[in-house]
Amino acid sequence: MQKLNTRMLLPILMLGLLFWQCDKINQNTNPNVTEQTCEGCHTNLAALTALATTTGSGDASGALAPLSPAQRVHIELGADQHGFSDIDSTHARMSCAGCHSGQSPVAEATDANAMSAAHQGLVRDPSVDPQLGCGGGLCHGDIARRHLTSIHRQGWGEKAQLALRYGGAGYSYSNAPVELSSGFEANRLLQSATCGQCHISRPIVTGGGFAGSATGGNHQFIRKPNIDFTCTACHSNTVGIEWRGELASETPDLHESFGFTCQTCHTEDFHGAGSSDADLTSVYDVEGIASCYTPCHVNDATKNIFHEKHWAGQGSESGLSCYVCHGQAIKHFESGYVSDYTQTYEAFKIGFNPNYQQADQHHSNEKWSVVRHTPVTRDAYSEWGISALPYFDEVPTYQRTSPHNLQRWTSRTLVDSSWIDSSTAYDDNTCWKNCHLHNLVNGSSAGPYNYDHFLMEGDLDAHDQQDEKLANASVTVDGGGNLCNACHAF
């Protein structure tokens, strides 16, 4: 007898799946399920509400209020929609069980029993294993393979920081002891992006549920993720609130007011490049990551006196990050356990860029950058079996950041309010008054001024970060012991 050719069998099986229609639907608002099928239940909000046994959860501090348990799994149908095939005809051919497993239809005496029977073997998020859930057969094989090792999935930047603090320079996260790596991975699972969390549902950090509206969604596969329900929902603690201008002292990003979305600037492939992504040490290392310089502002280096003096890479002795001049106040995180992002404070701080003139590092032509405090302490991983991070002092806790709240005119650029409407050149005798650490009066130093803009060791004292001074000595402006040396070489 000839052996069965599995290569021939696979296309036949996939062809069968393409014609495997979704369950029959019977939409109604009766709290009793009349069709004990996947769609019969999940299109009936009243029945889902009656069956719900848990309460809502998620981060209510962001722009999205958490959905109720019933709303999270309710498939909203439009006036002319009668089933999932009217919502997404392509994926509907797979059937609910084709992706999620489980049992449908079922025949039970009560709806509670029906739910229990239907959920036997259920896979809540098939894309947790992207290659199995999304990449099989004729589907998204290459994308699923690359996503599995992408920075959105793996958090390579966080892993690189952890490796540096635990093992020092050259130490690899892959060599971390099991108690450290397993603890980190368990925490990371709450933040890792799966295929479904970008293309179907809200991120799990918001409590989950289908994306699409304030009351949920309809399980539609969204090719281009929605900025409000995906990007700024997941990154709500930083990017989201900055972009929308939700901090007390800021206004929405200028680009947001022009109608830009995340994808206007972020054209990099979020699915990753493949196994080589494991070498990434920062999000800034991602190929094609968004940049101020290209393509938009490539010709702006000599546009005004500010740019002529301080545009990074133009031969200036003090190259500035764009955000130093054009950023607003941002949210910082108090020191504490790594997953606690609830204790925060608002501030705008400029510090030294540790990567300055380091050829193999990102943004190495910027001497000054905006910095944000990250919530890590020497004993942050003690509950994972690591009482103290041996190389904690080697990695700054104030990190270079890219605030998404840019403005043309800020407290640093607008020295004279008449500049907004004036066509005259900026006065190069006063343009620096709101930025520099001192003010020259009759040839002598009268100051210093503008302390509040810069990260000083006193800022660490103010936030109970005294134990972090050594780690941030390369970032704090007065960390070298001589404030004048911050700008002037002697």
**Averaged pLDDT, 191-218:** 90
Res 315: pLDDT = 63
The CA dihedral of 60, 65, 70, 72, to the nearest 10 degrees, is -90
CB neighbours (10 Å) of residue 341? Answer: 19
The pTM (predicted TM-score) of the whole model is 0.85
Q: What local confidence, expressed as pLDDT, does residue 351 receive?
A: 95
Q: Which residue is listed with tokens 């320079």?
A: 169
pLDDT at 341: 66
The proportion of the chain whose per-residue pLDDT surpasses 90, expressed as a percent, equals 51
Which of 82-86, 136-140, 365-369 has the lowest average pLDDT?
A: 136-140
- DSSP states of 452-476: GGB--HHHHHHTT-GGGTTTTTTTS
pLDDT in tens, 146-187: 999 999 999 999 999 999 999 999 999 999 999 888 888 877
- Beta pairing partners, 350: 370, 454
Q: Name residue 325's beta-bridge partners.
A: none
Q: What is the mean pLDDT of the chain?
A: 84
| pLDDT band (50, 70, 90) for residue 484 | low
CA distance linking residue 27 with residue 361, whole number of Å: 57
Written as one letter, the residue type at 375 is P
SS3 12: helix
User: In sequence order, which ranges of 52-140 are alpha helices (DSSP H)?
Assistant: 69-73, 84-87, 89-92, 96-100, 111-118, 130-133
